Amino acid sequence: MNSSTPYRIPGLELIDHTFEVPLIHSDPGGRKIEVFVREVCDLDPKSKEKPFLIFLQGGPGFRAPLPIRKEGWLKRALTEFRVLMYDTRGNGLSTPVDYQTLASEGDAQAQADYLKHFRQDNIVRDAELIRGQMSPDTPWSTIGQSYGGWCTMTYLSLHPEGLKECFIFGGVPGLDRTAREIYEGTFPFVEERNRQYFDKFPMDKARLIKLAAHLQENEVRFPNGDRVTPQLVQLLGLKFGFAHTAEEIHFLLEEAFVQAGDDEVVSHTFKIGLQSALRFDTNPIFAILHEAIYAQGSASGWACGEVQKENYPHFDDFDDFLFYGEMVFSWMFDEISELKGMKEAADILAAYEDWPALYDKEVLSQNTVPTACAVYANDMFVNAKFSRETIESVPNMKAWYTSEYEHCGLRVGGEKIFSRLIDLARGEVER
């Protein structure tokens, strides 16, 4: 472990830690990568005596939250924990995966073989190795946001001895649900969110139909040179899963066109807004491993695209424009320049069948680690029905089911929700 000197920002003391971990944990003497963890404490002189709480980030493919202010869930956590902001392998200040670094792995097969080691099983193995250095004699607590809940259930499967208590925000996976089943359950939610959006902003249907026609008839380019297509505009629907983002889409669409002399053209403002909303270029793990996080002993097979073609072909009809949700398609690797070099590797991963199991149902059936979950009834990203299946099958899991929050509950109501989950896990309140 390599650690920085402690440094401070208002209300917080930070220490940066870097760990060397095996790329393949079954080959501890082989290739190594780095994993970064930022330790966050408040300024209480007794903070060094507090136990650790490690944050498991959503995604896959995003770095841990940046501790800029002591507020929300972090404020509540620091009253009794030292918080570890964990950049999981491939993300943030850990050895990164992006279009620049992945190319150095070699051909498409070598890239795919490398990426096979970046799912939740190895995220957990890294975490347990880190715990062995930072808290070797004491189990620690975890907080998992979205995909971080997937990692939590894998942690409970592989290393329950390392856990004192777990808190999950909108991220309880269906243990046996395949990628295809996930998307079969997701599309109806996305259709409903489209209905709600166009009920709220009916004028945007005509705007989007006009925009789609213009993009098909004209070669419009982002500042980075990629062509702007109707399909990329459809990806704005990813925002539907968060609070107040429908308004963001609406106000962006208001500026879709600008008059340039005698011509009406797609505005630079809109192109910049759309490009910045699509984070697949800067966070490619989100795209290339998105379906792989569901795969156990079978291929994911570009399941989202197959479900869409078979059951929801009307999403291809731009004369009645509909947005997608949290969905990844193979065509994205043709249209987004930073993903193009990964297309062959992505196809190899989509066809790969020998993915190891991520959850041990036998171990989970004997779970003794208190685990409290916030399940959002209207979550567009995580099907509450699948979450309930898991919660009802695993002992010592308790859930707070609520329709008050969207998938971003941790961000917008984190202090309140976290306080409730702590009370729930510790038996202070009923579920």
- For residue 255, pLDDT over 90 is answered with yes
- For residue 430, pLDDT over 80 is answered with no
Q: Which of 17, 117, 290, 407 is catalytic?
A: 407
State pTM to two decimals: 0.96
Q: How many domains does the chain have?
A: 2
The 3-class SS string of 50-64 reads: CCEEEEECCCCCCCC
Is 17 an annotated catalytic residue? no
Domain termination site, one of 351, 378, 399: 351
Return the exposure string of 311-327: e unless at least 16 CB atoms fall within 10 Å of the residue's CB, then b: ebeebeebeebbbbbbb
Q: How many CB atoms are located within 10 Å of the residue 331 CB?
A: 14
What average pLDDT does range 108-132 have in this prediction? 98
Side chain identity, residue 315: F
User: Are residues 140 and 79 part of one domain?
Assistant: yes
pLDDT single digits (tens) 376-385? 998 999 999 9
User: Are residues 396 and 302 part of one domain?
Assistant: no
3-class DSSP state of 423: helix
User: Cis (ω within 30 of 0) for the bond into 60?
Assistant: yes
Q: How many CB atoms are located within 10 Å of the residue 200 CB?
A: 11
Is 94 an annotated catalytic residue? no
User: Are residues 395 and 288 part of one domain?
Assistant: no
Is 430 inside any structural domain? Answer: no
Is 58 inside any structural domain? Answer: yes
User: Are residues 236 and 138 part of one domain?
Assistant: no
Tokens 């295809």 sit on residue: 180
Tokens describing residue 50:
């507090």
Query: Kind and range of the H or E element at 123?
Result: helix 120-134
pLDDT single digits (tens) 287-318? 999 999 999 999 999 999 999 999 999 999 99
Tokens 């290339």 sit on residue: 288
Q: How many CB atoms are located within 10 Å of the residue 274 CB?
A: 20
As a whole number of angstroms, the distance between CA 400 and CA 419 comes to: 12
As a whole number of angstroms, the distance between CA 342 and CA 107 comes to: 10
Q: What residue numbers bound the domain in which 221 lies?
A: 179-351
pLDDT single digits (tens) 60-116? 999 999 999 999 999 999 999 999 999 999 999 999 999 899 999 999 999 999 999
Reference 90, options 384, 286, 276; nearest CA is 286
User: Are residues 66 and 138 part of one domain?
Assistant: yes
Domain termination site, one of 351, 370, 391: 351
Is 314 an annotated catalytic residue? no
- For residue 256, pLDDT over 90 is answered with yes
User: Are residues 322 and 197 part of one domain?
Assistant: yes
Reference 21, options 99, 109, 104, 130; nearest CA is 130
- For residue 282, pLDDT over 90 is answered with no
Is 132 inside any structural domain? Answer: yes
What is the CATH classification number for the domain harbouring 11?
3.40.50.1820
Q: Which of 146, 157, 300, 387 is catalytic?
A: 146
